[in-house]
Structure 1
Amino acid sequence: MERLYIKKLHPDAIIPTRGSVLAAGYDLYSYIDFKISPHSWLAVPTGIAVHIPSDCYGRVAPRSSLTLKNGLDVGAGVVDEDYRGEIKVILFNHSDVEFKGSKGDRIAQMVIERICKCPVVEVDDLNETERGSSGFGSTGK
């Protein structure tokens, strides 16, 4: 059985939890009170470090309730399996009012995902596909 190892870097840090047995992500908590000005951002400390299983990484993702209720979004976060520093969550306040967060608030979730470590091969040509190089919005509305 693979395990997610957590080290508390601060005594007030909270170990990540899952909201239900089948939840994909582990909720990440702030261990401090904080404020984010309107249309601004802040890297919020969690007070934890992790050891992620081999061939996996942690994807830091938004919690839908924070986005829906407060206009907050999470900056893309990747926690590599060899990173041992503190996990911080970049929160963006897209609203017109200051956001006040409290110690113990769930601020994001971390989803552990498998990765493919592919060798990179330079080629002169790529195989043809029906889509080709058609990009943004090319597959429909």
Structure 2
Amino acid sequence: MIPQKLTKAASAYDMLIPHSLEIEPGEIRTIGLRVKIQFPRHISAILHTKSSQVKLNAVFFLGGVIDSDYIGNIHIILLNSGKTTEKFMIGEAICQMKLYKDISIKMREGFNKKNTERGELKFGEATLRKIQK
């Protein structure tokens, strides 16, 4: 099933389930979407969970990157974190595919002496510091 944008302003393509399926509580399942895409050079994609899936089903998509030189069938991994069996119907949007332009930079080993406003603050620490001021 061809990925599609459901609205003109959508920033990502919905990826659709090619067949009906059930996922048991705690189950992790790999599903082939029966989609092959040949991206232009320097264009790749990342797959994201649809917020509606988490809200409605407690099913998480374990995201991944699709490199620009990959031409095989796209597979996804689903985790049912809920306590009930979840059912998906053929054609249901299961995750989103966001395209992006690849950017390469030169990496090197060493210590960066230039300080920034954030510094080495970890997840959420920058927000906490701002609130405390």
> Which structure has more strand as a fraction of its residues?
1
Residue type of the alignment partner of 2:103:
C
2:89 matched residue in structure 1: 102
Instruction: Tell me the equivalent position of 2:58.
Output: 71
1:112 counterpart SS class: strand
Tell whether the 8 Å contact from 1:32 to 1:45 is kept in structure 2 after alignment: no
The gaps in structure 2 that reach 5 residues or longer are 129-133
SS of structure 2 residue aligned to 1:49:
coil
CA contact (8 A) 1:38 1:97 kept: yes
What is the SS of the residue equivalent to 2:53?
helix
Letter in structure 2 aligned against 1:17: Q
Aligned to 2:114: 127
1:8-45, Cα deviation, whole Å (9 max, x unpaired): xxxxxx11111011111111111122221112221121
Deviating beyond 4 angstroms after TM superposition, the runs of 4 or more aligned structure 1 residues are: none
**1:1-141 to 2 correspondence within 5 Å?**
14-141=1-128
Length-normalised TM-score, structure 2: 0.86
Query: Deviation per CA, 1:63-122, whole angstroms, max 9, x where unpaired?
Result: 121111111121121000001111111112111101112222211110101221112222
Letter in 1 for 2:107: V
Kindly provide the amino acid, as one letter, of the partner of residue 85 in structure 2: E
Which residue is 2:131 aligned to? none
TM-score (norm. length: structure 1):
0.82
Aligned Cα root-mean-square deviation (Å)? 1.5
Instruction: Look up the SS of the partner of 1:107 in the other structure.
Output: strand
| Greater helix content | 2
C-alpha displacement of 1:123? 2.8
